[in-house]
Structure 1
């Protein structure tokens, strides 16, 4: 089969690779129909992270089952599915407590297990998510990032009727806007420096659009809230700058949840750091997308709200490309050669 394999820093290759085979009674092999590029993929491509040289990359996907192991009875060839790409050890203290996202040995396909930038991918049956008829393959390929966002919102104390600011309108931010609405937000502020992304934010439900190039985001939020601030601020840009600025957005006693990963050192100016202390903020980190019982309520809820249409990913998808365009696409993404929001490969 053809696949995109990572060999080193900015060295990804479209090449012939061995197809997965059934090795365990619980294995499921899926023909990939759509697979998305994650921000973590871009970072790993740019400067590496956990990986094995030549490993097939990618982890956000959907597809059709082609073969199952002898111990698989409720999933059949021809079924439409998505896959939770995460492996947990089940033995560490966090796993024993049911806190699977905190597993000491957490990993995802595309790192130490073959990933989904390929024609076929293999996962254990417990990682398989069945799709309802009205959730198409493109939508289903974003169940994993949607579950990442849901996991973050479940960590907060958000209540219906509150106001939420989402800083960074990439795919995680655009999903966060929609999850904020599901959790009952009466108003969502979308913040970015890219008007194209802000337009997408409006399409998925944001009421207030803030371009922070024009004026600092916290000043604009203050203008809109009569100096109060929002109840919850979501950091979804994953940049060192926004990871500092986010602390100036909530009201006194408000919350911040980090869903983005900056992959760089963060220098927090005194003004922003003092917002944590002086406003007695509650600051939360959120990692991965799984909970107990595995893969977790995040996945079930994502499928449900995609099925009802309350999560709409179509405005997020900016590119649908062939797998063979992968090397050029990663180069363009890393070197910012053009506007991208969510890129899907259609093998």
Structure 2
């Protein structure tokens, strides 16, 4: 079969490798449909961030079950699934409390083991989520990034009737924005430094957008004054600047969920730290996207939102193509962040 292989130094190649085989009764063989490039894959490709090389990445994918181990009763051949990349141990104290994202004995598809940038993949049955009828393979490839924002919103006790502020209008942020709207948020605002992203946020349903290079944090804070109560702020950009900004623009007793991963040290000015105390803010760390019952409420809610037609994806796709086209698009990034989702099409 074909697979995209990443070598040390950022070189990607298409290789013909042996098709994987089921070796355990609890495994399934999946024909991959679509697999998206995650922002976390970029340092794995370009910045020596993978656990080992060579490696086939890819954890945001959908596909069709084509074979099952004799212990699998949950799936049949022909079932459409999406990947649930985390495989916790289900035995440690964290897992026993259903804190699956915090498991210390986990493995992860497309990071610690081979992923979905290939024509076929073998998965443990717990790494698959059966997609309900009416959900397309392309929608299935967006379940994993969508549930990241959903997890943060659930940690903040939901957002129905609340005012949501998304700091960072990338793919994760704009998917989270649509989830917040679907969950019944009273208002949703998006903050970014990219006017293109802000225009797209408005097109996808944002009630307000703010350009944080053209407006000071104080100006944004004032603009949000009418929606300052019952506020949930999601920081999705993963930058020291945006973490500071999230604190500065938050309303009284707001919940700030930190979703983006930092790649640089952060320093909080004394005045900004004081705002956490003076506004009695709640700072929530959000890691991955899992809860009970496995894989979690996040995945069930995303299913419903797709079925209800509440999520728009077309505008979020920057590029999609076969193996050759995909490698060209990824290589062209040269380590820079994506402006939209890049997907491998194996259909």
Relative to the length of structure 2, the TM-score reads 0.93
Say which SS state the counterpart of residue 151 (structure 2) adopts: helix
Query: How far has the Cα of 1:229 moved from its partner?
Result: 7.0
Aligned equivalent of 2:204:
204
Q: How does 1:134-283 map to 2 (within 5 A)?
A: 134-225=134-225, 228=228, 231-283=231-283
Gapped runs of 5+ residues in structure 1?
A: none
Aligned equivalent of 1:343:
342
Aligned equivalent of 1:48:
48
User: Does the CA-based 8 Å contact 1:322-1:346 persist in structure 2?
Assistant: yes
Say which SS state the counterpart of residue 331 (structure 2) adopts: helix
Query: How far has the Cα of 1:244 moved from its partner?
Result: 2.1
CA distance in 2, matches of 1:67, 1:81: 13
CA distance in 2, matches of 1:227, 1:176: 18
User: Does the CA-based 8 Å contact 1:221-1:229 persist in structure 2?
Assistant: no
Query: How far has the Cα of 1:149 moved from its partner?
Result: 1.3
CA deviations 1:288-336 (Å, max 9, x no partner) are 1112222111111111111111222222112112222344333332454
Structure 1 residues 8, 203: CA separation in 2 closer, same or farther (over 3 Å shift)? same
User: Does the CA-based 8 Å contact 1:222-1:229 persist in structure 2?
Assistant: no
Query: How far has the Cα of 1:200 moved from its partner?
Result: 2.0
Aligned equivalent of 1:129:
129
RMSD: 2.0
CA distance in 1, matches of 2:212, 2:242: 10
Aligned equivalent of 2:90:
90
Aligned residues: 346
1:29 aligns with 2:56: no
Say which SS state the counterpart of residue 222 (structure 2) adopts: helix
User: Does the CA-based 8 Å contact 1:165-1:189 persist in structure 2?
Assistant: yes
CA distance in 2, matches of 1:145, 1:279: 31
Gapped runs of 5+ residues in structure 2?
A: none
Aligned equivalent of 2:10:
10
CA distance in 1, matches of 2:196, 2:107: 33
CA distance in 1, matches of 2:107, 2:238: 20
Aligned equivalent of 1:61:
61
CA deviations 1:109-152 (Å, max 9, x no partner) are 11221100111112111222222232111111000111111111
